[in-house]
Chain A
Amino acid sequence: MSWILALPIAIPFLTAVLAYLLRERPAGRWVSVGGSAVLLLAAVVLMRAVLEEGVVAGQMGGWPAPFGITLVADRLSAVMVVITAITGLAVSIYALGEITKRVAYLGYHALFQVLIAGVTGAFLTGDLFNLYVWFEVMLIASFGLLILGGTRAQLDGGIKYVTLNLVSTVLFLSGIGLLYGLTGTLNLADLSIAVAQVENQGLLTVVAMMFMFAFGVKAAVFPLFFWLPASYHTPSFAVSAVFAGLLTKVGVYALIRMFTLVFDHDIAFTHTILLWVAGFTMVTGVLGAAAQSDFRKILSFHIVSQIGYMILGLALMTPMALLGAVFYLVHHIIVKANLFLIAGVAHRIAGGTELARIGGLYKTAPLLAFLFLIPAFSLAGFPPLSGFWAKFLLVKAALEVQGWIIAGVALAVGLLTIYSMTKIWAQAFWEPHPGGHDPRLSDMSGFERRALLIPIGALAAMTIVIGFFPEPFVQFATAAAADLLEPSAYIAAVLGGAPS
């Protein structure tokens, strides 16, 4: 049974090796696309197994839990792996049209696949130290991708990204050490039982705060997000899209996992902090975006703002709120990655991402304008797109527990999001190009056009499908949220014993 758990990690690693060996040949970039497609297949197989059998767990190396390393997929993990595979495939197709020969020679495709392996590993592991290892795999690959090409802006953004993420890593490691000292185990399911027996509950809360800080940096929550808008607009667009879609969401996933499965001993304290963090993250992110005038910088600040919504779902800790958080995660990854990809096309044909220097895209490239409107409106929460349902569920969850203020904040931030999206729309699409240049999609070669636009169209179609047929997705998210709130099936699957 364990092979379907190991495949989503092994496939990208094998692809990475192949892509590195073939990096000088034109076939190298197709290896990346092929590997991503196989990964998607493996992810779907895993998802089917989870839907049919509930939580799937496997012990690597044959050591029984809690001694060996456990890989485990519940509904949340499975859906995250599927969405990672979808984003990976979309971005690797996009990379065919964007990544130059030189950057490919420097190892872009190999690093990209290693990054995907790190992300799926983090989603599938059931062991805390193993989670740390996957974070590092992901981190070192992202360091490489971020500075590949070595422009001055990339080096500058890279320094901030690398240093702040390393601080969070060390804190994560210290937290692991202290938690191990308190409980004597690092298996997540085992920890879930062991933390209840710790005498010194105060110390446990301190450790919980260390984890909140460490994952908070990765998830880019207020006040720990500064590395994100400093670096995400510097690398190539394919890289920023996959960063924007996946990396911060691994932090959010880790927060959700740890603060539902392990640290649920003092919800009144920890989750109140999370609630404040959520509110401030939403507001600072959206205000930061309002002050920016660059396509990608606006989008970067919006990542921060949107992370706040997901943390809000975790902080409220009701079935409705967690359902909203899971739904939001899935919707956000698709929409955000897509917006960065569109920024890349705008950059390609209009000659920049600085809003004051581009324009006229609506008139001469209406297809791109249409493709932009779908994720942009979805991000802002226009019905009937996916973002509307995501926001609707979270606001409803907040109102259910009489959280009038936080519900008001969430709605107001939605309005301000529309403001930023209108700003991009008006300056990049509506106004004429300041250089008098007519940006056309036909400026690109036919191959490039297809490589860049097909993934954008596919992701936009997914946004529409989720928006018009939210029912199965909501049902799935409801079950995922129930798993999170009642982790007995997860624990039973990992530690053995009859599933309850």
Chain B
Amino acid sequence: METLIAIAIGILTAAAVYLMLARNVLRFIFGLLLLSNAANLLIFTAGRLTQGAPPLIPKGADIPPEGVANALPQALVLTAIVIGFGLFAFALVLIFRAYTGLGTLDSDDMRVAEPKEQGR
């Protein structure tokens, strides 16, 4: 199972890098979204994939029974998804504002804050 997920993470990362190499910032941000999902899967897999029971502590007991899944990576991934979602929403709005303000999505043409390259 780990191998399969690892291959999936690899494919996601490759697709993400391909998209992020584009000059179009919208493609870049979609690549980033894929990459952050690859990172989430990575954390999840790094916590070991087990077919365990839900990590619930029965009434009256202090510790969970044997064979429950590791709850920590799930908590980490949940946090990372929420944060990633917020940042992605912000980035998307920023790109939209930049598109209306600067009139382009091509990162090479975004030259208001920096000097233009020679020969362009």
Contacts and interface: CB of A to CB of B under 8 A. Distances in A.
A173 B73 contact: no
Given A157-B113, A174-B42, A177-B46, A163 B91 contact: yes
B47 interface: yes
B43 A177 contact: yes
A157 B94 CA distance: 11
A51 interface: no
A231 B29 contact: no
A166 B86 CA distance: 12
Nearest to B16: A170
A23 to B, nearest CB: 20
Contacts of B79: 129, 133
A180 B46 contact: yes
A472 interface: no
A307 interface: no
Interface stretch (A147-155, A344-352, A490-498): A147-155
A181 interface: yes
- Give the bracket for the number of chain B residues in contact with chain A: 35 or more
Chain A, interface size: which category? 35 or more
Contacts of B46: 177-178, 180-182
Q: Interface of chain A, helix or strand or loop or mixed?
A: helix
Interface in A149-188: 150, 152-160, 162-163, 166-167, 169-171, 173-174, 176-178, 180-182
B113 A177 contact: no
A147 B43 contact: no
Interface string B55-98: 00000000000000000110010011001001100110011011
Q: Chain B interface secondary structure, helix, strand, loop or mixed?
A: helix
B117 interface: no
A234 B94 CA distance: 15
B112 A152 contact: yes
Given A136-B87, A170-B35, A170-B36, A150 B113 contact: no
B113 A156 contact: yes
B39 interface: yes
A54 to B, nearest CB: 30
Of A167, A182, A231, chain B has the most CB atoms within 10 Å of the CB of A167
B43 A180 contact: yes
A170 B32 contact: yes
Contact of A156 (B44, B47, B86, B98): B98
Contacts of A173: 36, 39-40, 43, 80
B111 interface: yes
B45 A181 contact: yes
A249 B90 CA distance: 24
Report which residue of A154, A166, A171, A177 has the largest number of chain B beta carbons within 10 angstroms of its beta carbon.
A177
A177 B112 contact: no
A143 interface: yes
Nearest 6 interchain pairs by C-beta: A181-B46, A177-B43, A156-B112, A157-B113, A177-B42, A156-B113
Interface of B: 20, 25, 28-29, 32, 35-36, 38-40, 42-48, 72-73, 76, 79-80, 83, 86-87, 90-91, 94-95, 97-98, 101-102, 107, 110-114
